[in-house]
Homo-oligomer: A and B are copies of this chain.
Amino acid sequence: VTLEGGVAREIASAKPARGRPRSEEVRLRILDAAIAELEARGLKGVTIESIAERAGASKVTIYRWWPNKAALATDAFLAAVAPRIAFPHGASALDDLRQQMISLMHVLTGRWGAVIASLIAEGIHDDEVGEAMRTRWLGPRRAAGRKVVERGVASGEIRADVDPEVVLDALYGPIYLRVMLGHGPLDAAFAKRVWAAAVHGIAAPSKRTRARR
């Protein structure tokens, strides 16, 4: 069950495989080249031609397996990043969430931040990319996160009346926002403050604020 290869044409299992089989080696060379180019120049600066040249492959070969640059970039990105992100499972659900939030921040701060942002932006116009980012990048992380939230609700750490989705948006939203807009630092201090605000809320506690439910 590979995560990658999503956009690429699925190998129809039934076919008796006539002719020369697809070269796995070429496919990997292309993905590697794409990753290298993405890191070096960002989605916008990358061209299919430069990837082809670096991979020692022909453009046609690329076009046979990926419909366009964004699809290839998505595949390359996911192949490179997906393996590096794991989900911890500790005693406290809240602690697990905090841990995840911080490790995501590290990823976004690193050299993949700009690539992710580019892909997200691309996904706005290109539905296939958007779908891929939702299904293959965000989806798995969300699913795992949701489970942690539900665990926290069960254990009484997290209020029962909040939407788990909204909890995740509240934790990750501020981080993505700063990644994309760069209007403030993305450091440990920021993480701590976001965490505090999300956990305890921003309303002054004594006053029993009833800000219109």
* Copies of this protein in the complex: 4
Contact residues of A between 138 and 175, Cβ < 8 Å to B: 138, 142, 156-163, 165-167, 169-170, 172-175
Instruction: Please classify the interface of chain A as helix (H, G, I), strand (E, B), loop, or mixed, using the class held by over half of its residues.
Output: helix
Instruction: For A194, list chain B residues within 8 Å (CB).
Output: 166, 169-170
Determine whether A22 belongs to the interface, using a CB cutoff of 8 Å to chain B: no
A158 to chain B, nearest CB (A): 6
List residues of chain B with CB within 8 A of the CB of A196: 161-162, 213
Interface residue? A200 (CB, 8 A):
yes
Interface string of A89-126 (1 = CB under 8 A from B): 00010110010000000000000001001101111110
With an 8 Å Cβ cutoff, the count of chain A residues facing the other chain is: 66
Q: Which of A5-13, A32-40, A203-211 faces chain B?
A: A203-211
User: A residues engaging B (CB < 8 A)?
Assistant: 42, 44-45, 92, 94-95, 98, 114, 117-118, 120-125, 130, 133-134, 138, 142, 156-163, 165-167, 169-170, 172-178, 180-184, 190, 192-205, 207, 209, 211-213
